[in-house]
Structure 1
Amino acid sequence: MSTSAAGPGAALTLVITTFNRSRYLRGLLESVTALDPAPERIIVVDNASTDDTQETIADAASRLPVPVVNLRLPVNAGGAGGFAAGVERALAEGASWLWVMDDDVVILPGAVAALAKWTGTYECIHGRRLDDAGRPFFWQHRFRPFLGIHLPVQGNVFRDSPVFATNVGCFEGMLISADLVRRIGLPDARYFINGDDEIYGWLASQLTEVVYVNDFVLQKIRPQKQIDLGIRHLNDSSDLSRFYSMRNRGHTAQYLLAHGRYHRAGFALGTLLTAAKEVLRLLAVEHRISGAASLWRGWRESRRILHDGSWQPMPPLEEHPHHERNQV
């Protein structure tokens, strides 16, 4: 594949979703100044923040060496809605590659070049992350359609190869080609938070290879309480996140149904495992049980979604003439 004449970063658009975390957003935008090559543009989706996020974006736009698009939504559409809006805008701006991320990370110097060597081969790429203490962040999973959940993969997945093939996505660092986005469609804003990237990665895997590569490109800055379970860490969460982790099971079930991969008994077991993990998170990490009520409310809502006969998956976008993929 040929490299863009304007440089390795010229086809790359960063898509950042933020909500009331201007301090983290400021650090992320500042980290862009150290990138060589730099991205073509940055799109910041402000989910109707009430802090000084708008001022932070305006300040970055005046100082950064690349254009910054300030996309402020009228309401908080959640991470899912924010990424849907940001991805749509990136396509409208002519992006060839989209690198999507939350606001509580920073980009490591050399990250764009590190990812560029994979863009001639793959269309959906995840680089490695460090946690806030500088340790490798655990992200090695595969989605199991029978259960409708992703499960951790044990061991060193990079022992024999710098590429780990997976079938699950993460919007905290997914690099995806615009051509693939058009074939899948926009991220599903109905998820609000939780599970939108998981199912998007699985949808991508039905069309092409989804990979996790042995290159550290991001560092998470926001500290989280966590416990070590041996094969992975379990972080703290929120009651809102717990509600959506259960409620969005309904949307995931509908996607599996649409692809002929829904198994009623297996999915019920996956739902039970999801609830059990959240209860463990409450007891072992957050040392409380009061948040369990949100799981029940989420499960009831998931049943309503699952039995909604009008539900339809997000459609592919209008077909565009296929162009040769530029490398990042």
Structure 2
Amino acid sequence: MSPERNDGMPSETELMNAPLELTSQIALDRSTVAGRSVACVIVTYGRREQLVRRTVEAVQASPAVGRVIVVDNGCNRPVAPDDFAQQPPVDIIRLASNLGSAGGFHAGITAAQRLLDKDLRFVLILDDDNVGEDGFLERLLALHTALGASDDIGLCALRRHRGIYPTLLADQTAVAIRNNSFLNFHLASLPSKLWRRFTRSARHSPENYGEFHLRRIETAPYGGLLLPMAAVRRVSPPNKEFVLYSDDHDYSLRLMDAGVTIYLTDVGCINDAEESWDKPSTSARSALVSPEAPAWRLYYACRNRILIEKRYTTSPIVYRINRMSYVGLLAIEAILAYRSLNGARKALRPLLEAIADGDAQRLGWRADYQLPGASPSSTAHTH
């Protein structure tokens, strides 16, 4: 899309750098949206048949969806064609074991890349508990057209109650990953984080008043990510070696490196039927030392986040200070919580092993941290 336009509409460059209010100048004409142009990829696992049925039913109701790919990532009860309506058609990929989000979305996106139907110009990626608000996909497609219908532009629907994304839209100065942070900890951010944590202040939400918001992002989640098929075919599918967590961020960063710009927007929004495991609770205790958090979640989340954050390290000294400070705070918290050195050491073991493997850039499965429903024979290598 050219940076200069003569039709009075803002250019892509202007949109990326302008105040949020500027997006109200875009007129979304949904009548220009071609029908049945979207292939939808959904990954499910465990005992989540009710969730995935609801999600598939919602996308099948959209006139923009031409095909649905459901990846059965080692479900307890195999996903069957009879679970869904026949139109638009649903393809089921059955994985014998739970290969994590990375393995599941690798299989689903690989299948999307191989689709031969030339009318399928977009891929919509969803978690199995993502339900879009009415008309969200049609609005995303209309926005993509308004931005120039370029194969170099992807859109990410806002998940209203998940992660930092509502804050990113509400506050143009907010960043998803601060330079030199360690597991999202930075000493310079500590005062404001402590204030939000102990006052339990509400998340930022963008002010709408008839407008929608748009912001360029680098690390996008799978859930709600709409990409041109040409962009999906431009890069390799998600890296299976991430196993779980941050594989979506690695994938979106590789898309960016390949020239694809991803915009976060609330022109189309998604609601999650299930809360995240690390969602802040009424307790002040960190999820990293909580007995409720499974060790395998802690290990993969920390290891993979460390690998992603290395891309944002501009000062090794500042990074080391943040790292030592955060690990020290967690150690104190663990000792106070478990009232013994042995208890604290056991609680911190996944974190410490994640740090060692993250430093060494060792990906893949760990024998000590098997996912529920994963069989040893399907998780290729350990170390």
**Structures share fold, TM-score greater than 0.5:** yes
By percentage of residues, which structure has more helix? Answer: 2
1:59 matched residue in structure 2? 83
CA contact (8 A) 2:183 2:302 kept: no
1:90 aligns with 2:112: yes
- With over 3 angstroms needed to count, the CA separation of the structure-2 counterparts of 1:64 and 1:205, relative to structure 1, is same
1:172 matched residue in structure 2? 223
TM-score, structure 2 length as denominator?
A: 0.62
Q: Which amino acid aligns with 1:93?
A: L
- With over 3 angstroms needed to count, the CA separation of the structure-2 counterparts of 1:266 and 1:15, relative to structure 1, is farther
Counterpart of 1:28 (choices 55, 58, 62) is: 55
Using the TM superposition, give the Cα deviation of residue 29 of structure 1 relative to its aligned residue in structure 2, in angstroms: 1.6
Using the TM superposition, give the Cα deviation of residue 108 of structure 1 relative to its aligned residue in structure 2, in angstroms: 2.3
Report SS of the residue matched to 1:89: helix
- With over 3 angstroms needed to count, the CA separation of the structure-2 counterparts of 1:50 and 1:156, relative to structure 1, is closer
1:125 matched residue in structure 2? 155
1:69 matched residue in structure 2? 91
**Greater shift after overlay, 161-170 or 6-15?**
6-15
Q: Which amino acid aligns with 1:215?
A: V
> Which runs of structure 2 are paired with 1:1-328 in the superposition (5 Å)?
8-20=34-46, 21-35=48-62, 37-51=63-77, 53-55=78-80, 57-60=81-84, 63-94=85-116, 95-120=120-145, 121=147, 123-131=153-161, 138=166, 140=168, 141-144=175-178, 146-147=180-181, 162-206=213-257, 207-223=259-275, 226-227=279-280, 238-249=294-305, 251-252=307-308, 256=311, 264-265=316-317, 267-268=319-320, 291-305=347-361
- With over 3 angstroms needed to count, the CA separation of the structure-2 counterparts of 1:307 and 1:43, relative to structure 1, is closer
Take 2:111 and 2:179, find their aligned partners in 1: how far apart are those partners?
31
Take 1:168 and 1:199, find their aligned partners in 2: how far apart are those partners?
7
Take 2:121 and 2:356, find their aligned partners in 1: how far apart are those partners?
40
Unpaired stretches in structure 1, ≥5 consecutive residues: 309-328
Using the TM superposition, give the Cα deviation of residue 170 of structure 1 relative to its aligned residue in structure 2, in angstroms: 0.5
Q: Which amino acid aligns with 1:123?
A: I
Using the TM superposition, give the Cα deviation of residue 6 of structure 1 relative to its aligned residue in structure 2, in angstroms: 11
Using the TM superposition, give the Cα deviation of residue 117 of structure 1 relative to its aligned residue in structure 2, in angstroms: 1.6
- With over 3 angstroms needed to count, the CA separation of the structure-2 counterparts of 1:8 and 1:217, relative to structure 1, is farther
- With over 3 angstroms needed to count, the CA separation of the structure-2 counterparts of 1:17 and 1:307, relative to structure 1, is closer
2:198 matched residue in structure 1? none
Unpaired stretches in structure 2, ≥5 consecutive residues: 2-28, 169-174, 190-202, 336-342, 365-383
Using the TM superposition, give the Cα deviation of residue 273 of structure 1 relative to its aligned residue in structure 2, in angstroms: 7.9
Q: For 1:56-110, what per-residue CA distance to the aligned partner results, in whole angstroms no more than 9, with x for missing partners?
A: x5321xx242010101123322101111111110010144211111112223221
Take 1:224 and 1:242, find their aligned partners in 2: how far apart are those partners?
13
The Cα RMSD (Å) is 4.2
Using the TM superposition, give the Cα deviation of residue 277 of structure 1 relative to its aligned residue in structure 2, in angstroms: 9.9
TM-score, structure 1 length as denominator?
A: 0.71
Percent of pairs identical after alignment? Answer: 19
CA contact (8 A) 1:47 1:82 kept: yes
By percentage of residues, which structure has more strand? Answer: 1
Report SS of the residue matched to 1:24: helix
Report SS of the residue matched to 1:204: helix
CA contact (8 A) 1:246 1:298 kept: yes
Q: Which amino acid aligns with 1:67?
A: P
Give the number of the structure whose alpha-carbon radius of gyration is greater: 2
- With over 3 angstroms needed to count, the CA separation of the structure-2 counterparts of 1:58 and 1:303, relative to structure 1, is farther
CA contact (8 A) 1:107 1:218 kept: yes
Take 1:98 and 1:89, find their aligned partners in 2: how far apart are those partners?
11
CA contact (8 A) 1:131 1:221 kept: no
CA contact (8 A) 2:216 2:263 kept: yes
- With over 3 angstroms needed to count, the CA separation of the structure-2 counterparts of 1:138 and 1:42, relative to structure 1, is same
Using the TM superposition, give the Cα deviation of residue 200 of structure 1 relative to its aligned residue in structure 2, in angstroms: 2.2
Using the TM superposition, give the Cα deviation of residue 16 of structure 1 relative to its aligned residue in structure 2, in angstroms: 0.7
Take 1:158 and 1:103, find their aligned partners in 2: how far apart are those partners?
28
Using the TM superposition, give the Cα deviation of residue 139 of structure 1 relative to its aligned residue in structure 2, in angstroms: 5.9
Take 1:162 and 1:39, find their aligned partners in 2: how far apart are those partners?
24
Using the TM superposition, give the Cα deviation of residue 155 of structure 1 relative to its aligned residue in structure 2, in angstroms: 5.6
Report SS of the residue matched to 1:86: helix
Take 2:332 and 2:86, find their aligned partners in 1: how far apart are those partners?
43
Q: Which amino acid aligns with 2:231?
A: L
Take 1:203 and 1:280, find their aligned partners in 2: how far apart are those partners?
37
Using the TM superposition, give the Cα deviation of residue 223 of structure 1 relative to its aligned residue in structure 2, in angstroms: 3.9
CA contact (8 A) 2:167 2:206 kept: no
Take 1:280 and 1:38, find their aligned partners in 2: how far apart are those partners?
53
- With over 3 angstroms needed to count, the CA separation of the structure-2 counterparts of 1:88 and 1:293, relative to structure 1, is same
